Chains A and B, each alone.
Chain A
Amino acid sequence: MTDARSDEALMLAYRDGDAAAFEVLYARWRSRLYRYLLHQCGERGLAEDLYQEIWTKLIAAREHYEIHAKFSTWLFTIAHRRLIDHYRRSSARPTDTALWQDEDDQGDPLDTFAGPEVLEPQRQAHTAELRAGLLAALDALPAPQREAFLLVEEGDLSLEDAARVAGVGRETLKSRLRYALGKLRAALAEFQS
């Protein structure tokens, strides 16, 4: 059974006391948010803790919910801030601190990077090794680039919304996304070769 209501309408319904609306909303975003957290922090346990905290925070904030943006933008904004807090407190992934540095000043490597025709991912998609290689390449990305990729892929956000969630400008996020895609393609090409 599908609900044609938008995410925002469901959240408003839950604010007004409709528990079923939240269940629908939760079913829509549970896997996406979880994968975003899992690939960002790299630990399942930590990802689960953050996942629960984010949803709990959303539940607690339901009384004051107003539609100021897309629900996915609000949800991933909460997740992004929670991740930043976690990194600041625990420095769990110290290497990520360097990885969070922006590479915008280094020029756009995608200009010299091979295009999709070189990788031909369609032909490699059926192999599990290729999938594992992609996830490994994703995990090896710098955190800002990985976040940009995940926000676009898991959050299904536009560049503007993804930039708002990440707290950066649109062009910055666009550059990060290009870096991420280029590195992923390069990793897949090496794996394939």
Chain B
Amino acid sequence: MTSPDDLRDAALSRLYRAAAQEEPPAELDAQILAAARAGLQPRRAKPAWRRWMVPVAVFSTLVLTVSLSLQTWHEMGPDGQLPPPRPAAAPAPTPAAAPAPTSAPAPAAAADSAAAGEPVEARQKTPPVANEQAAPPRQARSADAAPRKSLAPPPQNSSAGAPAAAASGQAAEPQRRDEAPAAATPLPQAFPELSAPRAAPPAPRPSSPPPRLPAADQPARAAPAEAEVRSFAGDSSVVRPAPAAPAAPGAAAAASAWNKEDTRTRTFAPPAQPAAAASPTARETAEQAIAAPAAAAKVQPAAPTKPAMAPAAPSAPANAAVAPAASDHLRDTQAVQDGKLEEQKRKDQAATDPLARITRIRELRAAGRLDEARIELDRFKRDFPDYELPADLR
């Protein structure tokens, strides 16, 4: 180590030391000494929760990340894409909102409104899309709507136009009608992933067929002609008046004609529905028929019929777009045939009523037509072998 003494000028050093007498301020000394003493104080240990705060936060973040990743991975399909978003939960789910494969939304909406007792016009102005998008696929149905299959289309993307417009409620109805051509895009093309389940299952048959009403009691014929039904191709695409069925005996016949026309026009057929669901008047009549004991005894399970989704409207103008004039004649003819069939079936029902037949046998006897009475009695015994005959007929 080299000492700077060989370079140091002793006289200069002494002169400098005599000249440089500056001292730091006393308060600065006090502050530094206080800081030095404070530095020796033992630091307070952190609380346990503060020590565990960071590890817990890191662990929670990791768990959340892994959980979300696993969930996403599980929900991801085999093609590596996420499924379409689920519909949002509806505040008031309606049974008609469940996704239905082969049905039209308008009948469902009409039936819902019928169950709720709404006027037909008000019902038909209610956009069904909100229910369609919102309701979960529930099977709970009211007694009136028990056999009804949900007619609402499954939730669609906003690109379809009509659902988005329908979300705005009744005010969006004109717009929805304007968007009908776009919404009427063939479903398999627009939603290939949704078309398969829609076309696969047929419309379920009602477990308990609705009571058949006499032709004379069909109130549906007097129902307002404004009842419009819509095809499924777009819930708002085609607004079509109810098909006229002047010769039809009732709403069932009208519905049958409507369905056949639907089939011809390659639209989705509405599911089997009770005729009572067609309109409030028809429903009341059906209830009355069910309530009457004699009439109820005559009601037999008939062949499942197509629902009467709208009352007959003899003077309703046909929609030129979907109901060509050429099909009216075919529809009328079919309605007449259906009416005859109804008559025949009613006679058959009367023949299957033992009380009616016993009465008939007694009438024949009283009229002196004993041979016919005996033949009728033999038929009766053959048809009802277990029936206990009255004493006068034994």
Contacts and interface: CB of A to CB of B under 8 A. Distances in A.
Interface in A128-159: 130-132, 134-135, 138, 152-153, 157-159
A82 interface: no
A59 interface: yes
Given A48-B24, A60-B39, A160 B2 contact: yes
Interface string A104-148: 000000000000100111101100001110110010000000000
Contacts of B54: none
Contacts of A30: 23-24, 29
Interface string B1-22: 1111001110111111111101
Interface stretch (A19-27, A84-92, A95-103): A19-27
A80 interface: no
Contacts of A188: 12, 15
A34 interface: yes
A185 B12 contact: yes
A14 B38 CA distance: 12
B35 interface: yes
B32 A121 contact: no
Interface string A16-41: 01010011001000110011001100
A135 B19 CA distance: 7
Majority DSSP secondary structure for residues of B touching A: helix
Contact of B33 (A26, A116, A135): A26
Contact of A26 (B2, B25, B29): B29
B22 A56 contact: no
Interface range, A side = 35 or more
Nearest to B29: A30
Contacts, number: 110
B20 A135 contact: yes
A38 B40 contact: no
B352 to A, nearest CB: 106
Contacts of B22: 31, 34-35, 38
Nearest to A115: B9
A51 interface: yes
B28 A51 contact: yes
A14 B39 CA distance: 10
B31 interface: yes
B37 interface: yes
A177 B4 CA distance: 9
Given A19-B40, A26-B36, A30-B29, A122 B18 contact: no
Given A52-B28, A138-B16, A158-B4, A116 B36 contact: no
Given A35-B22, A130-B15, A134-B16, A158 B2 contact: yes
Contacts of A122: 11, 14
Contacts of A181: 7-9, 12
Given A116-B9, A132-B19, A134-B15, A160 B36 contact: no
Interface of B: 1-4, 7-9, 11-20, 22-25, 28-29, 31-33, 35-37, 39-40
